[in-house]
Amino acid sequence: MSQQLAELQRVIKSGDYVVLDTETTGLKQGEVCQIGIVGSNGQILLDTLVKTMEPIPLDATRIHGIDNDAIRSAPRWPDIYDQVLKLLSGTHVLVYNAVYDRKMLHQTAERWHMEHTDWKTLSPWLCVMEGFAEVYGDYNSYHGNYRWQPLWRAAEYFAHSFDGEHTAIGDAKMTWKICKSIAKLESANV
């Protein structure tokens, strides 16, 4: 078992974490249009749509179902920033694809011309997707790492029924369930 997976298990067992997920307007230059945060005991801490600066492209709507009408009266990123900051400060942040979601938080703040927040300094972030890749065990010898697997495959692997895929809170809750399953694994099973 790698140090990274061992650390993920340690943090999950400690209960000192939140799970975050976002839905966005695009993969590269997108911004957050929905955010969900779940506590270590599974309680919903934040579940909200976010009004974006730019319109949501149809391609993104096809994936997550969020359109411009849905976010018309939603709070803007500056309106929820303090709440997000408070929820993430001083605790581990577990995310299925942590680099992507952290990037989206940065890009969203930039769109609103807000001061930069160094989320990695504020809180330790751990990538559940990378941890699950090791559990799943599809090793890529060319790249020297385990292949990342989609969230639905992790849910399927642990026999979790997957409701709410492609909603921020649905994906955050599923990531929380996957975290609980990863924590139960013995090192010999990984």
Cβ atoms < 10 Å from Cβ of 40: 20
Residues 6+ apart with CB under 8 A from 87: 18, 37, 45, 46
What is the separation of C-alpha 124 from the centre of its chain, rounded to a whole number of angstroms? 13
Whether 20 and 88 have beta carbons less than 8 Å apart is answered as: yes
**Separation CA 154–CA 162 (nearest Å):** 10
pLDDT tens sequence for the chain (190 residues): 888 999 999 999 999 999 999 999 998 889 999 999 999 999 999 999 999 999 999 999 998 999 999 999 999 999 999 999 999 999 999 999 999 999 999 999 999 999 999 999 999 999 999 999 999 999 888 888 899 999 999 999 999 987 657 799 999 999 999 999 999 997 545 5
Whether 33 and 57 have beta carbons less than 8 Å apart is answered as: no
Which domains occur in the chain, in start order? Answer: 3-189 (3.30.420.10)
